[in-house]
Amino acid sequence: MTDHIICRVDEITEGKAKRVEIAGRVVAIFNLGDRFAAITNTCPHEGAELCHGRIAALVNADAPGAYRTEDEQIMVRCPWHGWEFDLASGRSYCDPSRMRVKIFDVKVTPGERLAEGPYSAEIFEVRTEDDYVVLTI
């Protein structure tokens, strides 16, 4: 697993998402205000980009008219047909045992810590043989 620096925190507006391509994957990173969440950007239904979906807390009801919002369970609604996915688990609301999107670890790291590294360059063995320089990869 490799950390990838995406952007400054203030470059993703609260309640919105940023689409990024990392190592051949397209990922939607959401700013939930007090935390960030990252999921595969492609909806498993017909492929809409989930970064364009609206986010909202899950709403539950114990009885008609007695509803409550689950502030810790934030869902993204697909912009095409409205399927909803939990941003913490990736599970869909309609079929949580079978339908899901992949989730990724995302964290906020102070810039000072990023400047510390560790950074390392890839090292290759080089040797000379007669008149040739040979690089071993």
85 binds ligand FES (CB under 6 A): no
CB of 5 to ligand FES, least distance (A): 29
Q: What does the alpha-carbon distance between residue 122 and residue 137 come to, in Å, rounded to a whole number?
A: 10
50 neighbors 41 (Cβ within 8 angstroms): yes
Binding footprint of ligand FES, residue count (CB under 6 A): 9
Identify which of residues 73 and 79 has a Cβ nearer to ligand FES in the complex: 79
26 neighbors 19 (Cβ within 8 angstroms): yes
Residues facing residue 111 across a β-bridge? none
26 binds ligand FES (CB under 6 A): no
Helices (H), 1-119: 111-116
Among 6, 18, 20, 45, binds ligand FES (CB under 6 A): 45
CB of 41 to ligand FES, least distance (A): 11
